Amino acid sequence: MSDSASKLVRVQVRFVGRVQGVGFRATCRDIASGHAVTGWVRNEADGSVVLEAQGSAEAVEVYLRAVEATMGRFIGSAARMGLGVVVDERRFEVRR
């Protein structure tokens, strides 16, 4: 693992609430374009939305705070867990 990759963190957050049908995924992608993060966001069959974000610890935290500040009115709860870094990931995307 390169030195820069060793400084990256990756988190997964499962958002529950009224998070589908309100532009949640597109908003997460748009917010990511203004932050130094990569990853993806996807609707789940159970009505939740799963997001994975990767970057420096600070960039990920700032990004997730921006998502919560913008979309918080739709979020009932959010469960977070750390993941291994995805090497060579270059962008943030909406997955289907």
| Residues with a known catalytic role | 25, 43
Closest CA to 53 of 8, 3, 7, 10: 10
CA atoms within 13 A on the CB side of 49: 26
Give the three-class secondary structure for 56. Answer: coil
Tell me, rounded to whole angstroms, the distance of Cα 91 from its chain centroid. Answer: 12
Tokens of 42: 């996807």
